[in-house]
Structure 1
Amino acid sequence: MIDLTGDKKNMVILQAFHWNCLNDWWKEISAIAEEISIKGFDAVWLPPPSKGMAGDNSMGYDIKEHYNLNSKFGDKKSLKELINKLHKNDVEVMADLVLGHMLGEKKEWNPYFKKKTYTKFEERHFPKNYEHFCHECGNCQSRNSFGETVCYYSDNAYMKDGLIDWAKWLKYEIGFDSFRLDNLKDMRWDFSKDFAAEFIDHTFMVGEYWSGDDEYLNGFINHTNLNVFNFPLYYNIKEMCMNPLFSMRNLEKTSKKNKINFLSNHDIERDERDFNKDAIITNKELGYAYILFQDNPAVIYWNDYFKYALREKLDELINLRKNSIDKKLELITLNDDIYHARRGRYNIIINNGYDSYNYSGLDVKGRDYEIFIQD
């Protein structure tokens, strides 16, 4: 896997979309490419670029044609223009890859199920039929409800090789630098390993494996050599932000090796934030103060930066990270209420308790944090 102890540990990634974002989104992002760079973002994560079943209403996760880049977000030309503009501003671009399912093509007779299935995909560069989708042959534990499930091996690896070739095309022809891999929980671990092996030496990748089980995720990482989003830490931070009785000690019990930190995404806030059971809806700045001071790459969600009243605090935290990330992270104080860490001259104290906390004359209010320089 790409080493997260080198330059990649510095990455601040902007998830540059939200659910049901505007049409012609590539032009929207292009208009702020310079600002994204100036604010300190190292990479942007874009939504799936290929054509979806729902056309102009598609967010790309209902993938229909891999090599067709005409989507609600724009066409192939505007996408390449966006990528080039971001590159000129020293910002890398991450493609969101849907590798486990397809939707929306023609019906055909499927002898494995003895009925018609929507498996006849006639895309010229990457045609598929019932042979290339799950037929419950007994060699696979993966099955999802998002349309036709891809079969990676029973078809003589046609789909495995085709998906790898498609990803290479996105990288070398279209210009993407890195990949986010969607919904790995419903895919074969051996496919994830084979896919990662094709890009491991030169492409940053992060997989979405939605599980709060830290030990289980570590097993997946060790098997596949992929980095993953740190869902166990996310759930702990959610408790911290929304519960003043949460012990700060629990944050340091979650493993962080080969994990990418985040506090929200397009699925967690697919509906209105305040009505989503998984969303952090109070004191979210405490969570960002924590993850932006860690060694791990960190993702900032679009709505947190552009919609909610967090932008000024996020700018300050990104600036702190940029100034201090080359220094060793030292843990000064950790108890039920207080997390105090230092990098060189730079300190951050997060107070999750009700009462104020005093450190060397500095007063940190309850449910708040303070940044300070100590020579």
Structure 2
Amino acid sequence: MLILQAFYWNCLDNWWEEINSIADEIAVKGFDTVWLPPPSKGMDGKNSMGYDIKEHYNLDSKFGNKKTLKKLINKFHENNIDVMADLVLGHMLGGKKEWNPHFEKKTYTRFKEKNFPKNHMHFCHECGGCSSRNSFGETICYYSDQEYMKNELIKWADWLKKDIGFDSFRLDNLKDMRWDFTKEFVDQFRDNTFMVGEYWNGDDRTLQEFIDHSQINLFNFPLYYSIKEMCMDPFFPMQSIEGISKENKVNFLSNHDIEREERDFNKDAIITNKELGYAYILFQDNPAVIYWNDYFKYDLKDKLDELINLRKNSSHQPLEIVNLNDDIYHARRGRYNLIINNGYDEYSYSTLKVKGRDYEIFIED
């Protein structure tokens, strides 16, 4: 699976129409799925990126409305491309003030949305199992009031699939949510929906524990941080990349959070030799994400097209490691070879020369 993250932080207004205008171009590039930002209305209205979710069933947002969203989804479906919804399941913002007897003070927990009303009963009671009362809005309590929030969030996600047309889900900020809720949510859609969760943690063992519990795919943050080091440090040992677990992981090199500000001023962003990282993740078996700005803004489009074609042409062949040391990663799939040279010195393979801090693709006869 090859996913295009089809947005960036503070992307243009009327974004659904903007993407629709180039949907055919996206379709011929080899992407299987496009990942869209949260479609529901946020507290900040037309200035919201959707992560400050306020009204679940209201699809009027800075990106467009229900009509333009469904038009975009249908356009991708006509081109045999799936569409992924970004689901915010852990918190809400923008409620009205009401008396909250649990905390004996007023809280912003009254949401009057007709199809999905909520009040203080449905938000954090400090009952444990989650990062309670986080600093970003009102934390949802899934199991109070006869599991009202759990059941209604599942119903809402089902509506996004059946009525709006989404095919798959990205689950936001699992790190601050209850593990048991994540598993119960995933179980409802496991048979027919691809899902990937954001659990922002660079520890491979922690992610594997969550995967074992919830049986969900997670973004591969441990690999991301290692590839960041590789791209920005010629002395990074290439062997260490292969030591990171790959099961149920989705590989990526950037996202809307990593690059909220200008890329070169963000401490988490890969700002040099990023093509080395893309060469690696696009040659793997795992699902991979290409970030919108990397494809449409930065000077990587031609290289990414070449690597996408390599992935399409070789993915039916098993991956074999030919050579792996501190500087070199050489792998092949059938006749297709990829050599990444992370060191300074030129590397020779047969008659092929690979410059330092570069990669080469070649086909063996």
Structure 2 length as normaliser, TM-score?
0.99
Map 1:198-237 → 2, pairs under 5 A? 198-237=188-227
Q: Residue type matched to 1:230 in 2? A: N
Deviation string 1:245-294 (CA, Å, 9 cap, x unpaired) is 00000110000000000000000000010010100000000000000000
Q: Residue type matched to 1:150 in 2? A: I
2:24 equivalent in structure 1: 34
DSSP-derived class of the 2:8 partner: coil
1:255 equivalent in structure 2: 245
In the alignment, is residue 68 of structure 1 matched against residue 53 of structure 2?
Answer: no
DSSP-derived class of the 2:330 partner: strand
Q: Residue type matched to 2:142 in 1? A: Y
1:86 equivalent in structure 2: 76
Map 1:337-356 → 2, pairs under 5 A? 337-356=327-346
Deviation string 1:286-323 (CA, Å, 9 cap, x unpaired) is 00000000000000000000000000000000000000
Question: Take 1:137 and 1:253, find their aligned partners in 2: how far apart are those partners?
Answer: 38
1:7 equivalent in structure 2: none
Question: Take 1:311 and 1:329, find their aligned partners in 2: how far apart are those partners?
Answer: 25
1:4 equivalent in structure 2: none
1:294 equivalent in structure 2: 284
DSSP-derived class of the 1:233 partner: helix
1:156 Cα deviation (Å)?
1.5
**Against the structure 1 CA distance between its residues 139 and 303, is the aligned structure 2 distance closer, same or farther, given a 3 Å change threshold?**
closer
Query: Is contact 2:130-2:176 (8 Å) kept?
Result: no
Q: Residue type matched to 2:211 in 1? A: I
Question: Take 2:237 and 2:179, find their aligned partners in 1: how far apart are those partners?
Answer: 34
Question: Take 1:138 and 1:200, find their aligned partners in 2: how far apart are those partners?
Answer: 26
DSSP-derived class of the 2:86 partner: strand
1:310 equivalent in structure 2: 300
Question: Take 2:176 and 2:278, find their aligned partners in 1: how far apart are those partners?
Answer: 29
1:133 equivalent in structure 2: 123
Q: In structure 1, list runs of 5 or more residues that go unmatched.
A: 1-10
DSSP-derived class of the 1:85 partner: helix
Q: In structure 2, list runs of 5 or more residues that go unmatched.
A: none
1:140 Cα deviation (Å)?
4.6
In the alignment, is residue 144 of structure 1 matched against residue 165 of structure 2?
Answer: no
Map 1:18-33 → 2, pairs under 5 A? 18-33=8-23
Question: Take 2:131 and 2:75, find their aligned partners in 1: how far apart are those partners?
Answer: 42
Higher relative contact order (CA 8 A, sep 6+): 1
Q: Residue type matched to 1:161 in 2? A: N
Question: Take 1:337 and 1:139, find their aligned partners in 2: how far apart are those partners?
Answer: 44
Question: Take 1:257 and 1:265, find their aligned partners in 2: how far apart are those partners?
Answer: 21
1:13 Cα deviation (Å)?
0.4
**Against the structure 1 CA distance between its residues 191 and 371, is the aligned structure 2 distance closer, same or farther, given a 3 Å change threshold?**
same
Structure 1 length as normaliser, TM-score?
0.96
After superposing on structure 2, the runs of 4+ consecutive aligned residues of structure 1 that deviate more than 4 Å are: 138-141
Corresponding residue pairs, total: 365
Question: Take 2:312 and 2:79, find their aligned partners in 1: how far apart are those partners?
Answer: 17
Q: Residue type matched to 2:360 in 1? A: E
Deviation string 1:145-188 (CA, Å, 9 cap, x unpaired) is 11000000122110000000000000010000000000000000
Question: Take 2:207 and 2:72, find their aligned partners in 1: how far apart are those partners?
Answer: 34
1:157 equivalent in structure 2: 147
In the alignment, is residue 278 of structure 1 matched against residue 268 of structure 2?
Answer: yes
Q: Residue type matched to 1:107 in 2? A: K
1:6 equivalent in structure 2: none
Q: Residue type matched to 1:33 in 2? A: A
In the alignment, is residue 106 of structure 1 matched against residue 96 of structure 2?
Answer: yes
DSSP-derived class of the 1:282 partner: coil
| % identity of equivalent residues | 76
1:5 equivalent in structure 2: none
Query: Is contact 1:142-1:188 (8 Å) kept?
Result: no
Question: Take 1:135 and 1:347, find their aligned partners in 2: how far apart are those partners?
Answer: 56
Query: Is contact 1:345-1:373 (8 Å) kept?
Result: yes
Query: Is contact 2:129-2:178 (8 Å) kept?
Result: no
Q: Which residue among 331, 344, 358 is the counterpart of 1:368?
A: 358
In the alignment, is residue 320 of structure 1 matched against residue 320 of structure 2?
Answer: no
Question: Take 1:279 and 1:142, find their aligned partners in 2: how far apart are those partners?
Answer: 29
